Amino acid sequence: MCKRPGEPKNNDQYLISMQHPPPKMPLRSPYLCRMQILNGKETAQAIKDSLKLEVAQLASRGAPVPHLVAILVGNNGASETYVASKVKACHEVGFKSTLIRLEEETSELKLLEIIRGLNIDPDVDGILVQLPLPAHISAEEVINTIDCNKDVDGFHPNNVGRMVLGQPTFVPATPYGIMLMLEHYKVETRGKHAVVIGRSNIVGRPMSILLSGSSNPGNCTVTICHSSTKNLEEICQSADIIVAALGRPGFVKADMVKEGAVVIDVGITRVDDPTKKSGYRISGDVDFTDVAPKCSFITPVPGGVGPMTIAALMKNTFRACAMKHYD
């Protein structure tokens, strides 16, 4: 995608001249790529605006509006924040939302009973149980109990299976949000080598499946890496697209990234920062300052994948309602 010094110039939009940087664009690196930020906040807003319009139109015709129920067990600080932003997004787009708060000590049996009740409640379209759960509750049992037609997180084995087969389904919100962002920015993915760092069921693994799918975006050749991967740096150096989803702040450095790569930073880790009122700041898995000048596209943290995850969840919830009432 990017030319190296000495190669002839052309009109490629990604090229900026070493000798003649465009006005107001200071040359900050020895690389020739023009980096573009993948702005998740703006893209998510566009998706939510469009959903809001659709919901308002349906409501004006007397159709039911989507209803998302979120269950939060315990009071993990990060989970509180995530659930609050999901509920806020529901309000923004005109969905109904209900937050069920349960004590940390709530038994698995009680939680499963509540889920079964929601499964048969005709007023509920989407159910999500915020993870992680307290150690005495099996996340697997909980996920398997959610009606797969209301599983807007896309974690139920039926939905995972459908995703693997390339069938329409609820796709886990974070990888779905990333695909929506790649689509929005028309990032070319066909035939590219994508390296996904992390193989969790909620991010890395579904991401690798979606990127390797016969779709657009998609059609990548995918390498999935994890903590036992050897030569991770070398593998990353050969990547056209890197998706970092390992939860290690600043892990991806410039020397792991080839010029012109697309870098998607999924990481969200609270790092102590006494200069902040909260005492912490949010850090991604990519050393943004180091890596960004080398990229063609990069997501910031915050304001990249995070808002896209919420927007994708809203799309899944709309879909759950549409399957029941509009289709």
Tell whether residue 70 is a contact of ligand NAP (CB under 6 A).
no
Residue 130 is a binding residue for ligand NAP (CB under 6 A): no
Closer to ligand NAP at the Cβ: 41 or 248?
A: 248
Tokens of 154: 């896309």
User: Can residue 197 be called a binding residue for ligand NAP (CB under 6 A)?
Assistant: yes
HSE-up of residue 133 (Cα within 13 Å, Cβ side): 18
3-state SS class at 298: strand
> Rounded CA gap, 126 and 148, in Å?
10
By CB under 6 A, is residue 207 in contact with ligand NAP?
Answer: no
| 3-class secondary-structure state, position 30 | coil
SS3 content of the chain, % helix, strand, coil (to 5): 40, 15, 45
41 interacts with ligand NAP by CB under 6 A: no
Q: Using CB under 6 A, which of the segments 66-74, 180-188, 262-270, 291-299 binds ligand NAP? A: 262-270
Tell me how crowded residue 151 is: count the other CB atoms within 10 A of its CB.
27
Among 200, 212, 219, 237, binds ligand NAP (CB under 6 A): 200
Q: Would you please indicate which residues are annotated as catalytic (active-site) residues?
A: 86, 130, 153
Alpha carbon distance 66, 94 (integer Å): 8
- Contact with ligand NAP (CB under 6 A): which of 174, 208, 223, 296? 174
User: For ligand NAP, which stretch binds (CB under 6 A), given 56-64, 135-143, 188-196, 241-249?
Assistant: 241-249
- Give the interface segment with ligand NAP, choosing from 68-76, 102-110, 260-268, 272-280 (CB under 6 A): 260-268
Report the distance separating Cα 221 and Cα 125, nearest Å.
36
Binding site for ligand NAP (CB under 6 A): 174, 197-200, 202-204, 225-229, 232, 245-248, 266-269, 305-306, 309
